[in-house]
Amino acid sequence: MKILTGNSNKNLSSKIAKYLKEKLVNSNIRKFKDGEIYVEINENIRGNNIFFIQSVSSPANDNLMEMLLCIDALKRSSAKNITAVIPYFGYARQDRKVVPRTSISAKLVSNLITQAGADRVVTVDLHAGQIQGFFDIPVDNLFTTPLFARHIKKKIKSKNIICVAPDVGGVERSRALGRILNVGLAIVDKRRPKPGQSQVMNVIGDVKGKTCIIVDDIIDSGGTIVNAAKALKQRGAKDVYVYISHGVLSGDAVKSIKNSPIKKLVITDTINNENKVRSAKNIEILSISNLMGEAIRRISNSTSVSFLFK
Ligand code: R5P
């Protein structure tokens, strides 16, 4: 087994390599002056099983192209097997045509990864589980729920917890966390009047006096979560904690979370946000490196990955 990293999240790749007691493959991935990406692998990888780690986070187009070129370089260097390890699978939110004459980016990106030469994909909390079916190669979709549940049990001492889905699409995820914690479920009825804007219409369930735990896959502008937290507080919630797999955190997201009633926002490090969130006392980063490292070890040894979902 050998591990190669792209430039999107070298911190996470180093932690995964440390967990596996492996070194990262020596490579040179840089840009020409016109912005084109150049990839060179500086060691022999012939016949090796390669795990290539890259998130499709901002700048998404550059990071995606870098991934495709790295997979191509690995294939042309006679790697035996290439696993694209994609901690954050960007472009996943366009997974169907919601209005006519739009693209389905999740399908196009899946095709590109397969065509580039990947034999397998490992990712974390896909925006929609069905995206696995866009690939005709095996996809291991890892879940953050057990990681979040352990953190909640350790850090939140309240006896009166309720899990909250920030929109109807998040019900399954929140219910799964609620099942592990053995607590109930509330649902925020969110509408999007325009792309990038969210509005809370109602909260289904009684949150009065409760410690609310909102769980979602992505926080982007922060609108969904901040509006949900405000609505919960208005309905008498005691505290609001938020657990999110992927901290996209674009624009003024960090600022609006800092100024919101959210007691603590916990994100994972599928996207490198260390500098961005440094000044925010109510944002914590929980590393996913051990979970990803263990999944890689198990794939490499052909043992069960679903064991990690418990
Ligand atoms: C939507 O379905 C996703 O699960 C997130 O709720 C959404 O992407 C969050 O976006 P924002 O933070 O911009 O409201």
What is the per-residue pLDDT across 75-134, written as a single tens digit (0 to 9) for each?
999 999 999 999 999 999 999 998 999 999 999 999 999 999 999 999 999 999 999 999
Domain count, the chain: 2
Answer yes or no: do 281 and 181 share one domain.
yes
Q: Which atom of ligand 1 is nearest to the CA of 196?
A: 13
Mean pLDDT, rounded, for 212-224: 97
Mutation test residue for ligand 1: of 171, 219, 250, the one with most atoms within 8 Å of CB: 219
> Which residues have a Cβ under 8 Å from the Cβ of 85 and sit 6 or more positions away?
16, 51, 52, 53, 54, 121, 122, 123, 292, 296
Range of the domain at 119: 2-142+290-309
In this predicted structure, what is the pLDDT of residue 71?
Answer: 98
Answer yes or no: do 131 and 192 share one domain.
no
Answer yes or no: do 218 and 294 share one domain.
no
CATH classification of the domain holding 199: 3.40.50.2020
Answer yes or no: do 97 and 170 share one domain.
no
Answer yes or no: do 34 and 47 share one domain.
yes
Answer yes or no: do 277 and 167 share one domain.
yes
208 contacts 199 by C-beta, under 8 angstroms: no
In this predicted structure, what is the pLDDT of residue 154?
Answer: 97
Tens-place pLDDT, residues 35-68: 999 999 999 999 999 999 999 999 999 999 999 9
Answer yes or no: do 77 and 19 share one domain.
yes
Answer yes or no: do 272 and 151 share one domain.
yes
Q: Which atom of ligand 1 is nearest to the CA of 169?
A: 2
DSSP of 49-65: EEEEE----SSHHHHHH
